[in-house]
Structure 1
Amino acid sequence: MALLAAVAVVLGYFEGIIIAFMFLPPGIKLGLANTVLLYSVYLLGPGYSVILMILKVVLTGFMSGNLAAAFLYSMGGGALSLGMMLLVKKLGGNDKVSIVGVSVVGAVFHNVGQLLVASLVVRTPGLMLYIFPLLISAVVTGVITGLAGRQIVRVLRLPGAPDPLSSKTKDPGEDT
């Protein structure tokens, strides 16, 4: 878990550096750390994924120097995103919703969660109108991170373990 949390934090930090040179509108991110969360969702299960998301939020908050604000926004986006990814993966199964679809759902709901928190904090419901450009970017970045996540899950699963992306494979953590 520590290694996965460290990789997620480093990817998030690296992403911040990349975005600084891309001149993207505020709030638009690549979601590189989501590849680590996708790995966890597909290979470790819900419990570990929740722990990983919380570790990433807390560690990133400490690194930002503004723990309270970073924690509030990141936790809002992260919790809603992870909850929806787990729900879509569980309800849709691998035969109806691919890892790319789960990634897109995660990206979309991360933006929704952060905008909801921002609207509540600044007491400006009109801020939710910013959702439209964020949704477009979420779909694009969700597809990219989903494709990367699919490759990572396939390459990093244990040798001889069943393919977690196959519709014939049970979810990690499910009872037998």
Structure 2
Amino acid sequence: MKSQNKRILNMSKIQKMIFFSMLVSQGIVLNIIERMLPLNFTIPGAKLGLANIITLTCIYFFSFKEALLVVVLRTILTSFIAGSPSSFLYSFSGALVSFFIMYMLIYISEEKISTIGISILGGVSHNIGQLIVATFIIENMKIFYYLPFLMMTGVATGIFVGLCVKYLLLYLRKLKYFS
């Protein structure tokens, strides 16, 4: 990754703005679709994390600031459309922790860790970010006893998201904007 320039060089500023708007919109739509799926994880708070497909894809192609902007806008707008103030706190903290961990892993060792591995670590770190906020809200560290259960779902959903991103990257790299 260090050798690659992660900026899309073949786009004008307007094209780039439109593209980022589409990514934010896709993240919102994936989040709303996920809420409608009749998946019942027996662990409260566990989700598929479909919007993380957009986050991880952005990290592979864009600069730190650009990818972070997509994550922040997606999280804020999703909370306004289909969330609550408390869901915003949990999703925003999880999204930021996950973003920073995945970005750091890709930046440091993209050649050594697969997309699936990065996604798994992103899913688990998302859960840790949420538990940190929960600790402050309920003022009790015992909430971390819940972490092993969340980690199991984080690994499973991380594999799914990582596979989706792996195949998405293969197709996107064939497009002229991403080559």
CA deviation map 1:17-44 (0-9, x unaligned): 11xx222121111111111111101112
Question: TM-score if structure 2 supplies the norm length?
Answer: 0.83
Counterpart amino acid of residue 153 in structure 1: L
Question: TM-score if structure 1 supplies the norm length?
Answer: 0.85
User: In the alignment, which residue of structure 2 is the partner of 1:75?
Assistant: 92
User: In the alignment, which residue of structure 1 is the partner of 2:54?
Assistant: 36
The 2-side partners of 1:41 and 1:53 are apart by 10
User: In the alignment, which residue of structure 2 is the partner of 1:46?
Assistant: 64
What is the Cα deviation at residue 57 of structure 1? 1.0
The 1-side partners of 2:145 and 2:132 are apart by 11
Q: Does the aligned pair in 1 maintain the 2:61–2:178 contact within 8 Å?
A: no
Identity, % of aligned pairs?
31
User: In the alignment, which residue of structure 1 is the partner of 2:5?
Assistant: none
Q: Does the aligned pair in 1 maintain the 2:123–2:155 contact within 8 Å?
A: yes
Q: Structure 1 residue 159 and structure 2 residue 176: aligned? A: yes
Matched length: 158
User: In the alignment, which residue of structure 1 is the partner of 2:13?
Assistant: none
Q: Structure 1 residue 145 and structure 2 residue 164: aligned? A: no
The 2-side partners of 1:112 and 1:71 are apart by 15
The 1-side partners of 2:177 and 2:92 are apart by 35
Q: Does the aligned pair in 2 maintain the 1:57–1:74 contact within 8 Å?
A: yes
Query: Which portions of structure 1, spanning 4 or more consecutive aligned residues, are displaced by more than 4 angstroms?
Result: none
What is the Cα deviation at residue 117 of structure 1? 0.3
> Partner of 2:46: helix, strand, or coil?
coil
User: In the alignment, which residue of structure 1 is the partner of 2:15?
Assistant: none
Counterpart amino acid of residue 108 in structure 2: L
Q: 1:121-140, aligned counterparts within 5 Å?
A: 121-140=137-156
The 2-side partners of 1:22 and 1:105 are apart by 22
What is the Cα deviation at residue 160 of structure 1? 8.1
What is the Cα deviation at residue 161 of structure 1? 4.8
Which segments of 5 or more consecutive residues in structure 2 lack a partner in the other structure? 1-19
CA deviation map 1:118-174 (0-9, x unaligned): 111111211111110110111111011001001111112333855xxxxxxxxxxxx
After superposition, the CA RMSD in angstroms is: 1.4
Q: Does the aligned pair in 2 maintain the 1:64–1:70 contact within 8 Å?
A: no
Q: Does the aligned pair in 2 maintain the 1:107–1:139 contact within 8 Å?
A: yes
The 2-side partners of 1:160 and 1:75 are apart by 30
CA deviation map 1:48-86 (0-9, x unaligned): 1100110111011101352x3222111110111000001
TM-aligned CA distance change 1:77 to 1:160, over 3 Å = closer
Counterpart amino acid of residue 129 in structure 2: G
